[in-house]
Amino acid sequence: NEGNEYFKEKDYGRAVAAYSEGLRRRSGDAELDAVLLTNRAAAHFHLGNYRSALNDAIQAKKLKPTHLKAIIRGALCHMELKNFLEAIAWCEEGLQIDSKEKKLLEIRAKADKLKGKELEGPFLGIHTDFCPHCQGGAVMGTDLPERNIKLVLEPSDEEEEVSDGLAEISLDGFHSDSATGAKVHLDADGNLNWPVLFLYPEHEQTDFTVAFHENSRFIDHLMVMFAELPPWDLEKKYLPNNLELYFEDGEREEMYEVNPEHTLLQMLQHKRYFVKAGTPTVLVFAKRSPFSKKYFSGKKVHRL
Q: How many domains does the chain contain in total?
A: 2
CATH code (residue 229): 3.10.20.90
CATH code (residue 27): 1.25.40.10
Do 298 and 186 share a structural domain?
yes
Do 210 and 108 share a structural domain?
no
Do 258 and 115 share a structural domain?
no
Whether residue 160 lies inside any domain: the answer is: no
Whether residue 126 lies inside any domain: the answer is: no
Do 267 and 229 share a structural domain?
yes
Q: Can you give the pLDDT of all 304 residues of the chain as single tens digits?
A: 999 999 999 888 889 888 989 998 888 899 999 999 999 999 989 888 888 899 899 999 999 999 999 999 999 999 988 888 889 999 999 999 999 899 999 999 988 888 755 333 333 333 333 333 344 334 545 567 778 888 876 444 433 333 333 333 323 333 323 343 467 878 777 888 888 889 899 988 888 787 888 999 999 888 888 877 887 888 999 999 999 999 998 777 889 999 999 999 999 999 999 988 788 999 999 998 999 989 888 889 998 7
Note if the pTM is more than 0.85. no
15 CB neighbour count, 10 Å cutoff: 25
Do 103 and 149 share a structural domain?
no
Do 207 and 248 share a structural domain?
yes
Nearest alpha carbon to residue 174 among 263, 301, 82: 82
C-alpha angle 161-165-166 in degrees, rounded to nearest 5: 115
* Maximal CA-CA distance, the chain: 60
Residues 6 or more apart in contact with residue 47 via CB below 8 angstroms: 12, 13, 16, 210, 211
Do 110 and 187 share a structural domain?
no
Distance between CA atoms of residues 4 and 277, nearest Å: 34
Q: Please say whether the beta carbons of 37 and 59 come within 8 A.
A: yes
Q: Which domain holds residue 196?
A: 145-153+180-303
